[in-house]
Amino acid sequence: MAVTQDELIYQLVKQYMQTSGQTITAEPGPLTERQVAPASEPIRLSTGVSNRHVHLNRHDLDELFGEGYELKEDKPLSQAGMFAASETVILAGPKGALTGVRILGPLRRNTQIEISFTDARHLGVVPPVMQSGETGKTPELTLIGPKGTITNNNAVMVPWRHVHMEADRAAAWGLKDGDIVKARTLGERSVVFENVIVRTGKGWINEFHIDTDEGNTANIRTGDIVEIIRG
Query: Which residues have a Cβ under 8 Å from the Cβ of 67 and sit 6 or more positions away?
Result: none
Interacting residue with a copy of itself among 21, 100, 136, 188 (CB under 8 A) = 188
CB 158 within 8 A of CB 128: yes
The yes or no reply on residue 16 touching a copy of itself (CB under 8 A) is yes
Smallest distance, Å, CB 189 to a copy of itself?
Answer: 6
**How far is it, in rounded angstroms, from Cα 62 to Cα 151?**
14
The yes or no reply on residue 26 touching a copy of itself (CB under 8 A) is no
Contact segment (CB under 8 A) with a copy of itself among 32-40, 58-66, 83-91, 102-110 equals 32-40
Q: Characterize 45-78 residue by residue with b for buried, 16 or more Cβ atoms within 10 angstroms of its Cβ, and e for exposed.
A: bebbbbebbbbbeeebbbbbbeeebebeeeeebe
- DSSP run (H or E) holding 168: helix 167-172
Residue 25 DSSP one-character state: S
Number of residues that bind a copy of itself (CB under 8 A): 44
**How far is it, in rounded angstroms, from Cα 101 to Cα 65?**
14
- Residues 120-159, one symbol each (x = binds a copy of itself by CB under 8 A, - = not), give -x-------x----------------------------x-
The answer to whether the Cα torsion of 89, 117, 157, 85 is positive or negative is positive
Smallest distance, Å, CB 202 to a copy of itself?
Answer: 26
The yes or no reply on residue 2 touching a copy of itself (CB under 8 A) is yes
Smallest distance, Å, CB 67 to a copy of itself?
Answer: 37
The yes or no reply on residue 4 touching a copy of itself (CB under 8 A) is yes
- Give me the residues that bind a copy of itself (CB under 8 A), please: 2-9, 12-13, 16, 29-31, 33, 36-40, 116-118, 121, 129, 158, 160-161, 188-195, 212-214, 216-217, 219, 230-231
